[in-house]
Structure 1
Amino acid sequence: MAFSSRFRTRAVSLAIAAAPLGLPFSVHASMGNLGTTYGVMPVDVATAQSLSMFNDQVSATYYNPAYLTKDERGELTAGILHAEQELRSANPNANGDVLSSSPSQHVLIGMKTNLGSLTRFKHPIYLGFIAGVEKYGKEMLAFDSQTTENGQFLQYGKEPLFLNIGGATPIWRGISAGVSVRVTLDATANLDAVSTLGGETSRERLSVSAEPSLKTILGTTIDLGNTFCPESDCFLQHWETAVTYRTKSSASTTVDSNIIVTQTIPDPGLSLAVSTIDSFQPETFGLGVQYSGDRWRAGGSIEQQNWSELEQEFTGDTIKNQGSVVAGSRIQFDDILIPRIGAEYALNKNFSLRAGLAYEESPLKSTHNPEINYLDTDKIVVGLGLSATYNRTRLLAHPVRLDVGYQYQQLQERDFTLVDHDGNETDVTADGDVHVISGSITLKF
């Protein structure tokens, strides 16, 4: 048995990683996440995240926690998101050119409330949280980390648990500030066992733990009219600005195992160690501007995402770093700027239309990354959505709001060189189409 082969060891390590953690081994996970890849709520999906910094729903805990202060009422929101992907790689050695078509399917729930009544000062303090779970609530830890000969897309696939908790409060004359945390899991597993050549194990000892990792998100919103000319009209009226900051984050799994194979590998056995990351979120700086008219609003944002930090993260990843070390070169990433614009128009007091546009440059600088064979392209993102508000219902004291959003992502063609395990190279062209549909219902209280 060729246990010395790095590929066999890698495969065994991954199988051990999947088994104790109860994770499906065939899952196509990614370095993206729900909030950055698609958008959390239908408003974010429909505006290509261009107005997300000025969305007063619970998704503000991720995009701009300060905007939780915009609506004084409490809120309970439930929603779903379905992303259908056709990611292509024109490789003559593959069966067809569709590399991945696995959908991402989320169920979402969130709530916001004012905790100011708990204090004697009556100063409003808003608390909000939002959670998204893959496969319509059935799969909390969608995870896969692998090398591949046919290529794998960097930012698409099933997403792990999406969880944000945050709070905000007004500071002074149109200025609000907020802070939230993104919660990810760092899982650790230890396995000791004795196995026969037929795969029958005995004397197993397994321990699994997962601890939360909290990453900070900061946001500030300034209503320029209320701040600089609160008692008179001026040209700053109806203008709002927002500044946000998100620290880098990722989910991780670490597996240490020791296997004794009777008649083949005596005590102390074969030690396998795996440490890998997934759903990486880069350090992000955001600046947004919005102008609100009588029945409409328009705005935009620009984000700087520091993906170059992922190079350092991969140096400690025993799966993804192996491919770059063997080839003598490392995967390289660029820091990128993402511009977004969007608008919303109220048809009447009950219905609103919104749309958005964004251009997202690929952070993947390398077009030749052996064994791991990541693919990623620039993309054009277009969104469209509708809101319906029912002001009077028979049972509820406050309005009920329904939102739907659609988003289309066109992945631009880009050439890559794939390298298989034997060192053979193949030139391919990566592109794709992504369709996202999202819906939610919001109850005020």
Structure 2
Amino acid sequence: MKLKSLLLVGGALLSGTAASAGGFQVSLAGIKNNGMGGVGTGLALDQASMFYNPGALAMVRERGVQIGANATFARQAFRAENGTEDRTLRNSVVTPFSLFAGFGPAEGKWKAGIAVYTPFGSKLQYAEGWEGRFSLTDIDLKSIFVQPTISYAITENLSVGVGVAVLAYGAVNLQRDVPTTNGQGQNGHVELDGKAENKVGFNAGIYFKPSEKLSVGVSYRSKIDATVKGGDVTFSNLPEAAKPSFQATEFDVTIPLPATASIGIGIMPTEKLTLAIDVNHVQWSKYRALNFKFNNNVGGAGITSSTSKRYYQDALTFRLGGQYALTEAFTVRAGGSYDMSPVKDGYVSPETPDANRIGGTLGVSYKAGEHFSVDVSTQFISIMKRSQTQAELQDNGTTDRVAGTYKTSIVIPGIGFNYTF
């Protein structure tokens, strides 16, 4: 058994089928923003500005607390090269959540706040006996970021802000079958389970509103290296003859969570109508390879490390959205997005079966009284069909992946509750 085949499962660290962005990035922070195609860099909608553009927080009129949650329902199909049957994933639901609390003087120049959000998370469970079971069968990923934020209005039209983005919790569980049969003709199994170390980055932005009808924002979220040290490796169902080749009990690995630069424009033709455009540039090219170290043998005597090629490329996401106040109580939203995949041809892997994706969104808010409101959003994401051949994998030296065709569609309902004061 080749070591790179064994370790492909580890490539899923902090990845999976991301809900609303390419690669393993997820952008589901604000429920209002979700209903508008994910725009937010050039707007000061509410306390979720701490995620999209900390510089806009000082321009948010009301102090408040909001909580939100989403549920991702994905349908993914895989057909092996020269195969005739589609393999679909077992049903699983992921529930990214967020909390934003903003404070400060009502008429002052500054605002401060705390943000808690889950920008990376996934759960994939492939069909029993699928062709890529020796690469991946299951992934369960969780992450929580905490971001204290401060924002200051330099003038009535210009504000800046910065947040300390802390990877407060990260956990991953990855599983695959081992192609070594026992006496009953069953395959072995390996499970990798680990927690990421706490790491610190930053999220900074500038917000400029030259008139009542126009606003512009620029933001930058820094790269963070997510590192697992001493994660557990568990082998099961191995025949006695194979056990000396699989003695590892711990693994170490580091994966870059890429930096994102964004620019956004908000246009307010009337008091009731807001339109916005965002462009995000994600620096995926920093992700060149995935390197593992083990404390003992994996796949053969003396083999305790491995490298899996990634060679991602930088990618752009284009977002468009708007909202319209029907009445004082009801506001409706709609939007769309086009997300370019960072994964090159011949590098698609089961834990990140990524391709260019098109999204459409809808949303509505209901204001129940002076201080309380409810937001609802729904996103529809279509990850375009993408194929790779065994010849491409051989040419790229990426035969630790599976030749075939992937197609994924995702529905993401969300709900949020807001209290302002």
- Aligned mates of 2:134, 2:53 — CA distance in 1: 35
- Aligned mates of 1:307, 1:79 — CA distance in 2: 28
Equivalenced residue count is: 364
Aligned-residue CA RMSD in angstroms? 4.4
Q: How do 1:103-252 and structure 2 match up within 5 A?
A: 103-114=93-104, 123-132=108-117, 149-150=132-133, 158-185=141-168, 211-225=197-211, 237-252=212-227
- Aligned mates of 1:330, 1:168 — CA distance in 2: 40
Q: Which residue does 1:73 correspond to in 2?
A: 62
Conservation of the 8 A alpha-carbon contact between 1:69 and 1:176:
yes
Q: How do 1:391-430 and structure 2 match up within 5 A?
A: 391=369, 398-417=370-389, 427-430=403-406
The change in CA–CA distance for 1:381 and 1:52 in structure 2 (over 3 A counts) is farther
- Aligned mates of 2:420, 2:154 — CA distance in 1: 24
Q: Which residue does 1:310 correspond to in 2?
A: 287
Amino acid at match of 2:368: Y
Conservation of the 8 A alpha-carbon contact between 2:325 and 2:332:
yes
Deviation per CA, 1:185-224: give whole Å up to 9, x if none: 5889xxxxxxxxxxxxxxxxxxx99752111111100011
1:295 to 267, 272, 275: 272
Conservation of the 8 A alpha-carbon contact between 1:184 and 1:250:
no
Is 1:364 matched up with 2:343? yes
Structure number, greater radius of gyration:
1
- Give the alignment's TM-score, normalised by structure 1: 0.69
Amino acid at match of 2:311: Q
Point out the structure with the larger helix share.
Answer: 1
Is 1:342 matched up with 2:321? yes
The change in CA–CA distance for 1:37 and 1:257 in structure 2 (over 3 A counts) is closer
Deviation per CA, 1:320-356: give whole Å up to 9, x if none: xx99xx9998322111121111111110111111111
Conservation of the 8 A alpha-carbon contact between 1:186 and 1:252:
no
- Aligned mates of 1:289, 1:212 — CA distance in 2: 34
Deviation per CA, 1:294-344: give whole Å up to 9, x if none: 210111011111101111xx344449xx99xx9998322111121111111
Deviation at 1:8, TM superposition (A): 11
Amino acid at match of 1:406: T
The change in CA–CA distance for 1:29 and 1:123 in structure 2 (over 3 A counts) is same
Instruction: Using the aligned pairs only, state the percent identity.
Output: 16
The change in CA–CA distance for 1:250 and 1:439 in structure 2 (over 3 A counts) is farther
Deviation at 1:166, TM superposition (A): 1.2
Q: How do 1:253-264 and structure 2 match up within 5 A?
A: 253-255=228-230
Deviation at 1:164, TM superposition (A): 2.5
Is 1:431 matched up with 2:400? no
SS in 1 for 2:154: strand
2:368 to 374, 382, 390: 390
What 5-or-longer segments of structure 2 have no aligned partner?
125-130, 172-193, 235-240, 242-246, 300-304
Conservation of the 8 A alpha-carbon contact between 1:102 and 1:157:
no
- Aligned mates of 2:152, 2:5 — CA distance in 1: 54
- Aligned mates of 2:414, 2:111 — CA distance in 1: 26
Deviation per CA, 1:389-434: give whole Å up to 9, x if none: 123xxxxxx42111000000011111123679x9698631111110
What 5-or-longer segments of structure 1 have no aligned partner?
15-25, 135-139, 189-207, 226-236, 265-269, 392-397
Deviation at 1:100, TM superposition (A): 5.8
- Aligned mates of 2:307, 2:115 — CA distance in 1: 43
Conservation of the 8 A alpha-carbon contact between 2:195 and 2:231:
no
Q: Which residue does 2:251 correspond to in 1?
A: 274
Is 1:332 matched up with 2:308? no
